[in-house]
Amino acid sequence: MLKFNLIAAVCKNSGIGLNGDLPWCLKSEYEYFTLTTKRRRDTTKQNVVIMGRLTYFSIPVHERPLEERINVVLSSTLLPMDLPKNVLLFPNLEIAMKHLEYNIRKQIETVWIVGGSGVYKEAMASQRCHRLYITQIKQEFKCDVFFPPIPNCFKEIDPDPETPSGIQEEHGVQYEFKILQK
């Protein structure tokens, strides 16, 4: 069974978004997201990023689809013609995963769930979910989208060598990278 990891930055009050954007501007955290979701050991394969419709359209136009990754959008309202030809569209996470598993599995190294709230909730409930890469932002921000509660079956593990350890700080905002595994 093809598994996936989830990656999210979450502030102290569980917020992940405000008005279709991030509530904070942390360049180093965004670089971590980009490097982590692009990183692969086998250069003949690609990583996949799966996101909901609102998350996809919250990405600045000049940055979407996310480069060097297979982009998958989950939506029951969009039509294929609403997205670029190289972006895959599925009505839900399980149908997307089955398509990836049965049609292009040999081309894929890692599948990443990148948002939003509903997709995160569905992903954490799935047997396919392997790890959560959570950036814990150590302060509260005004938010209108929130990260769902993390199920008790996920336990923190030691970070991988590519993940910076300890408290990071940018523009007076402290944050820390955590990895949890089911």
* Set 29, 83, 93, 100: catalytic member: 29
31 is catalytic: no
| Residue type at 62 in one-letter notation | H
Residue (of 93, 139, 90) closest to 114 by Cα position: 93
Cα separation, 137 vs 140, whole angstroms: 8
Cross-strand bridge partners of residue 146: 15
79 is catalytic: no
* Set 22, 26, 66, 100: catalytic member: 22
Residue (of 48, 102, 53) closest to 71 by Cα position: 48
Cα separation, 56 vs 65, whole angstroms: 8
Which residues are known to be catalytic?
A: 22, 29
